[in-house]
């Protein structure tokens, strides 16, 4: 399925035009009826707005999938910003790299083929912004690992997708960002990607 999305984008989107590529991924999803676990256009607007507000230079992404959010993030932040995207699936990395290259953003995105659990301790600088959209039961332990590895600083933003639809898997994560005293956290209601009638939400947590 991921290869079919890439083929569709290469055939229909405008090269070096991130907006065209994202729109064609959205169009493929709607036309095919297949569910793609991208952040999607509605929550994508919230993500873009948050990025523009905070203007991060170093961004960490957990979960690349097909490169949708990497393109959205890299095309929104400044030219001197850099994104590190971690995903354990080699096929996801391969597809994401081709998507990002087609968007003309390869100079801003670094993909890491690894589990977050193994990759995070090897990172050696703090991040201004962390986007979490990988295995839902890993949100909490991987955020703790990020904290313990010294990868967050005052005013770092942690943006977590799917905290509404997967609420049962998010209890520890949400309790931590809301009640640990480490963050000022805000929940923003939205809808599940490509399912406007299904409730979802994002959690935006700013380290104190």
Report, as residue numbers or ranges, the catalytic residues.
133, 136, 161-162, 193
Distances (CA, A) of 56 to 26, 46, 77: 26, 15, 7
**SS3 category, 188:** strand
CA distance 3 to 139: 27
Query: How is residue 5 written in tokens?
Result: 């999305």
Asked whether 93 and 64 are in contact (CB, 8 A), the reply is yes
CA distance 189 to 6: 30
CA distance 180 to 194: 33
CA distance 50 to 72: 12
Closest C-alpha among 7, 207, 28, 36 to residue 98: 7
């Amino acid at each position: 399925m991921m290869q079919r999305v890439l083929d569709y984008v290469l055939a229909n989107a405008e090269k070096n035009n991130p907006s065209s590529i994202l729109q064609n991924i959205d169009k493929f999803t709607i036309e095919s009826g297949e569910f793609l676990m991208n952040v999607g256009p509605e929550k994508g607007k919230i993500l873009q707005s948050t990025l523009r507000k905070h203007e991060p230079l170093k961004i960490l992404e957990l979960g690349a999938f097909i490169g949708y959010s990497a393109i959205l993030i890299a095309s929104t932040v400044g030219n001197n910003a850099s994104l590190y995207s971690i995903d354990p699936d080699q096929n996801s990395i391969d597809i994401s790299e081709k998507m990002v290259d087609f968007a003309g953003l390869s100079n801003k995105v670094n993909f890491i083929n690894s589990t977050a659990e193994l990759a995070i301790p090897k990172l050696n600088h703090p991040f201004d912004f962390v986007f979490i959209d990988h295995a839902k039961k890993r949100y909490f332990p991987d955020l703790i690992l990020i904290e313990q590895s010294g990868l967050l600083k005052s005013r770092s933003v942690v943006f977590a997708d799917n905290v509404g639809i997967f609420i049962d898997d998010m209890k520890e994560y949400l309790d931590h960002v809301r009640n640990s005293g480490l963050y000022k956290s805000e929940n923003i209601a939205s809808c599940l990607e490509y399912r406007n009638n299904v409730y979802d939400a994002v959690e935006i947590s700013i380290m104190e």
